[in-house]
Structure 1
């Protein structure tokens, strides 16, 4: 009888110890992955950085490589080409964790968030319903809807207007919140204009048809942000570079002298910021380029 009571008592001790260990482990995981900041209101979506951004830990190399390889091997329609994926991954290998701004949402959205583990990844997209759809599938996604007022077919007129206003509203270093340049996106959450972005990817909005918004405004805004917000430099990547709008606007605002690598569909520019950014010209050879056209 005493033996049975002793065994029963030991079982209760083991159960209690197991429960205590599980509770302690759960508390440890919760506090390390989702730290709380009592000084910020949960309703302040622009001021509060995601927990992964505050944690600031780089993704381990084997996990990084596996994610890139699986993404490249995927047969999903609409995915980015293998060479483009590896080019962007090389930038993250060098700069992550970092402050990463993406124009567009798509197949690679979960990959970009994962490769920039420990950094802050922000997405901008023109379709608020698609944002809501992805927010349900990807908890913690930081994405904002924006309105584009341009059409891809307007690109020649917009380029001409930007050249006329290059020392005014369309200058390369400015506060976009107060810009009247037709290219400028000035309705983003205000806090985003003050962030010194390390990497910017232009993979949106839609630009495949003449009636699509086109990426003139996204490329111009990326070029100004890269030059204006911080000391730089900023890696700016433009997808679908083989298309006319993406190529012409990149040459106009990101400049061939800043082109460091490219595939058929992706161009990689390294844009100087701070004291290295010129305030009156986007490109050093802009006068020569215009005279030749």
Structure 2
């Protein structure tokens, strides 16, 4: 047994390492699980918010190129009038941006402008229902000097897309007596800004209306006034208010209808164009006013009375189109439309 005496025996006692259900280890693991759940919840919320934000951005980009309907919010319209009034050419681009309509920025490249005008003039020469090619070229030449700008057009027709395209980057507004035609063209040309006008005149009343306007030249039919509150029968005062505050650079009178005795005639349109041009507040500001169908008695007489022969530009006029450059600002005569002989010339 001596061999056994020099060895040591090590005894190992097994013990259970399983913690009890109420121990500290269980509490620690529970806290870790709660933290993990909270982390996953926060991560999910952040991811969802990012997805929604991306969806909104995509939606706004996709819909931003669409034109605003003509009955847009009054706040947006007021912003447009503030941008358009008093800044001449630059006001048109700012106005279009506020409207959400036509694209803003520089005008068309010259070669694109000329190509559009050339093809439209050629179409006018070959089609009896379109504006004569010479008139198209004359209007395009006047517009080319001002575009992009604030352009007001009385009348809707076959040339409507052309005027809007040539004034790319500016603001183009159309006025027409037919509300159904306005709605029709708005549907065909998204972003078109057009309004219907309720005219209270007829061609058969032209002599009496002209005589009454002459008699009230120093009162309700004066050259410089607030058209919104005018009692002159030739004043158009039912347009959206913000349009009266826009500094119009070019006004084209190609409506309303005037070829029958019961048609509204263009007396009110020409008178209103003359007042809008003279009412511009910027010193030295001018407005190009173009009157189509000038060979007719009403258009010729009213243009001479309210736009004045002294303001006519013969080199950019044709037999059926008259071009006038009317000045605004403080130097405008407030007691008469013309410097002299306006009434006499109209009566001839």
Q: With structure 1 as the length reference, what TM-score do the two structures score?
A: 0.83
Map 1:28-177 onto structure 2 (within 5 A). Answer: 30=61, 34=65, 43-44=73-74, 46-47=77-78, 49-51=98-100, 55-74=104-123, 75-177=126-228
Does the residue aligned with 1:267 lie in a helix, a strand or coil? strand
Deviation at 1:150, TM superposition (A): 0.4
Quote the residue 2:307 is aligned against.
254
Kept in 2, the 8 Å contact 1:105–1:125? The answer is yes
Which residue among 306, 328, 333 is the counterpart of 1:273? 328
Deviates more, 1:253-262 or 1:49-58: 49-58
1:283 maps to which residue? 338
CA contact (8 A) 1:102 1:124 kept: yes
CA RMSD of aligned residues (A): 2.8
Q: Which has the larger radius of gyration?
A: 2
Residue 235 of structure 1: which of 271, 288, 296 is its match?
288
Mapped to 2, the partners of 1:282 and 1:143 lie a distance apart of: 29
Q: Distance in 1 between matches of 2:343 and 2:172?
A: 37
Distance 1:196 1:277 in 2: 15
Shift, 1:124, TM fit: 0.4
**Kept in 2: contact 1:52–1:117 (CA 8 A):** no
2:103–2:168: 8 Å Cα contact kept in structure 1? no
Determine whether 1:182 maps to 2:233. Answer: yes
Partner of 1:209: 260
Instruction: Give per-residue Cα distances to partners, 1:104-126, cap 9 Å, x unaligned.
Output: 00000000000000000000000
Q: CA deviation at 1:164?
A: 0.8
Secondary structure in 1 matching 2:77 = coil
Displacement of 1:155 after TM fit? Answer: 0.8
For 2:4, the equivalent position in structure 1 comes to none
- CA spacing shift, 1:212–1:53, aligned 2, 3 Å: same
1 CA distance for matches of 2:347 and 2:128?
40
Consecutive aligned runs of 4 or more in structure 1 exceeding 6 Å deviation: 290-293
Please state whether the residue corresponding to 1:55 is helix, strand or coil.
coil
Cα separation, 2, equivalents of 1:79 and 1:216: 23
Q: Unpaired runs of 5+ in structure 2?
A: 1-57, 81-97
State the alpha-carbon separation in 1 of the partners of residues 241 and 122 from structure 2. Answer: 38
Q: How far, CA to CA, are the matches of 1:287 and 1:79 in structure 2?
A: 32
